[in-house]
Amino acid sequence: MMTTFPPELLSFLRAASRVAVLTGAGVSQESGLRTFRDAQVGIWAQYRPEDLATPEAFERNPRLVWDFYATRREGAGSAQPNPGHYALAELEKRFNNFLLITQNIDGLHQRAGSRNLVELHGNLRRIRCSRRCGTIDEWEELPEVVPACPKCGAPLRPDVVWFGEALPEDGLHHAITAATTSQVFFSIGTSGLVQPAASLALMAKKAGSVFVEINYDPTPLTDQADYAFHGKSGEILPDLVKALG
């Protein structure tokens, strides 16, 4: 069934030039990648984040953390972008000023053709020194043991943001600027529970942006949304591109 969009939203979007979009794991769900918080199937329904996604976890058991991210990296590498990713790359071309802010580390937005992109939580394709000596590399193979930094000897780790860690400063700054100067802000496929990403929507709204949520389930942000569409982003986003004409 085609999604129906209120005509006033469509005409506002047709006239808009500044659009910011925040995405989360839900946009990759139709590519076969797991979300985090969905009951039963979410990654955090099976594992505890404190065992796998914190600096302390890596210190305690680097191998376990490596293997977890290696599995996710392989999954992301063999997954294909879905119609939602492609629709976002299409939308980027419509607006003079468009920023895609993603919490995803799977690289699928780039592969679908999105260019103006901020990765708030890093990317699975890179590794870096755990002591931040500056070493950063492409993650090519899964090594037998956790590799040591060629410069300082500390263990190398995935270049992703873990719980308790700060987000990349430039990326976050760019995201906040785009959100607070946008005319329309979309929150798509994210539970809106992880800060500071989740607060971008409210910052945007407070600054006068029209806030649109597209998510399978209602979220804590839904009440704040000017427009909320509940369903699959891989269906709603292509419908939106079509409806805009």
Residues annotated as catalytic (active site), given as ranges? 121
* Among positions 38, 51, 137, 226, the unique one binding ligand OAD when judged by CB under 6 A: 38
The token pair that represents 33 in the structure block: 């990648």
Single-letter amino acid code for the residue at 76: A
| Site membership for ligand OAD, residue 25 (CB under 6 A) | yes
Quick one: which of 123, 130, 183, 215 contacts ligand OAD (CB under 6 A)? Answer: 215
What is the greatest pairwise CA distance in the chain?
A: 59
- Distance, in Å, from the CA atom of 224 to the CA atom of 221, rounded to the nearest integer, reads 5
- The C-alpha atoms of residue 54 and residue 121 are separated, in whole angstroms, by 13
Q: Which is nearer to ligand OAD, 97 or 203 (CB)?
A: 203
Element counts in the chain: helices (H) and strands (E)? 11, 9
Residue 133: contacted member of Zn ion, ligand OAD, none (CB under 5 to 8 Å, by partner type):
Zn ion
Which residue's CB is nearer to ligand OAD, number 29 or number 209? 29
The residue type at 142: L
Tell me the per-residue interface mask from 81 to 120 with ligand OAD, x by CB under 6 A, - otherwise. ----------------------x-----------------
Strand ranges across the sheet with 156-160: 136-138, 122-129, 156-160
- Asked if residue 30 binds ligand OAD (CB under 6 A), the reply is yes
Residue 43 binds to Zn ion (criterion: CB under 5 A): no
Among 16, 21, 33, 53, binds ligand OAD (CB under 6 A): 53
| CA–CA gap between residue 223 and residue 159 (Å, rounded) | 34
